[in-house]
Amino acid sequence: MSKQREELEHRLRLRNIKLSDYEDIREIMVSIYRNQGGAWTKAELKNQLKVFPEGQICIEDNGKVIAAALSIIVDYSKFGDNHTYDEITGYGKFDTHDPEGDTLYGTDIFVHSDYRGMRLGRRLYDARKELCENLNLRSIIAGGRIPGYSKYADEMTPRKYIDLVKNREIFDPVLSFQLANEFHVRKVITKYLPEDTDSRAYATLLEWINIYYEKDEKLIGNKKSIVRLGLVQWKMRRFSNVDDLMQQVEFFVDTVSGYKSDFCLLPEFFNAPMLAEFNDMDASEAIRNLADYTDEIVGRMSELAVSYNVNIIAGSMPEYDGKKLRNVSYLCRRDGTQDKQYKLHITPDEAAYWGLQGGNGINVFDTDAGRIGILICYDVEFPELGRILAEQEMDILFVPFWTDTKNAFLRVNICAKARAIENECYVAITGSVGNLPKVENMDIQYSQAAIYSPSDFSFPHDATVAMASENAETTIVADVDLDLLTKQRKAGSVRNLEQRRLDLYSIQWKQKK
């Protein structure tokens, strides 16, 4: 390799700053901040390295420091949003650094002028974010200069200038870069750096939120990140009584529990084989008699949830109170508590054959493995419901379904995948297979259970976490990562929830709960 080529070859290295780097750092700071106070003294840098060595980061090229980011940890509540640069740095003494604080405060970031355009600032910001996450700090806060403002100060306020920079109507060499690195402006502060004439002494108070921050870390019982889902693709077969039905249910609960699943999902009307007992009745009378078994089945499901340590979404069953016949899914938690979700939208056949009526409420349920929603079959084909649940911070949507034909299944299946993408959540669906001769309106079944995810780099390329074989009795057991949902909602390639035009439209729930 020629000497000239060696001189042109970059050898970049990200590392922590050493005191021996001072002259390189001083050279950069003097050139950049000649009108804003110049460089830190060597004594000041030495003290910053003493109080918080991990927070002082640089990039070297062939042994020479060419970019750096300096920071401290502070208890932000002691300063508030109206602080100055001198106040929060202790006038250069850094005695404001608090190892028990909650905020990483960026004091400086700078890049040698010869290295502009290489996106080294982005690398330093990414390193700061990684440090903030690893130290479990709430956020990164910094006061940001707006050096381009001096050109517009006579014609607009700082707030108007910032809005135009946000909308890319104006480019600011500092603020535009910070916005591109996922910082948002909390407010405008005055006299932050009085000597900063280019910014007219104004600054933006910038913040980057650590979405992984845990305020009170516990040794046990923390919120789960990796959640294991168990789906039962159920074969319709004749059962002579409830004991026979529950024996088959327990087999599958035991199966998914053996893999330490957090949830077990059963299909809609999984207890329909019991309708055979009422073959001498018309369909509407038979389904009301089937509802007589619901309380007993729910009670036994709850016992299984506790004894097998798994949260059970008990598909759905008919409920009849003497006036209304409804379709209901029970959540039987492994702590022994219960909740239920009614099917809201009734298909034409369900209304005509059975006289089913829809429920009036929808909820997100807290569990020890995330916040979940339940939509029974046809309900998933109404996108408003999924969005309402997403607005309540749902992590996983469970969809027990029953479909007779492939086109009916595809309606549920395609809509379920859409709900996962548009609401940035996981969606788990399962139905039943096989047939029930001589059971009116329940004679044939079609299913292909699946788990869907958002569609982005952190997830499967086709947004499908797992999928069962079609029309075969089986189970799916698969893991989903709830932390990836948090990342998707804040930093995804597209962010459907965050970027809704709420200034133009919204979904309003009219029914009083």
Note whether 479 and 224 are within 8 A (CB): no
Alpha helices in 276-338 (DSSP H): 283-290, 294-307
**Cα 426 to Cα 229: distance, rounded to the nearest angstrom:** 10
Burial 212-240 (b: 16+ CB within 10 A, else e): eeeeeeeeeeeebeebbbbbbbbbbeebe
**Residue reference for tokens 């300096």:** 70
Count of CB atoms within 10 A of residue 186's CB?
13
Count of CB atoms within 10 A of residue 265's CB?
29
Phi-psi group of 377: left, alpha or beta (phi > 0 → left; psi -120 to 50 → alpha; rest → beta): left
Look at residue 500 and give its three-state secondary structure: coil
Secondary structure (H, E, C), 116-162: CCCCHHHHHHHHHHHHHHHCCCCEEEEEECCHHHHHCCCCCCHHHHH
CA count, 13 A, side-chain hemisphere, 138: 13
Give the closest residue to 286 by CA, choosing from 300, 296, 276, 298: 276
**Known catalytic residue at 343:** yes
**Known catalytic residue at 224:** no
Q: Which of 58, 132, 332, 377 is catalytic?
A: 377
**Cα 447 to Cα 429: distance, rounded to the nearest angstrom:** 9
Q: Which of 60, 132, 207, 268 is catalytic?
A: 268
**Cα 73 to Cα 61: distance, rounded to the nearest angstrom:** 28
Q: Which of 60, 264, 343, 381 is catalytic?
A: 343
Q: Which residues are catalytic?
A: 268, 343, 377
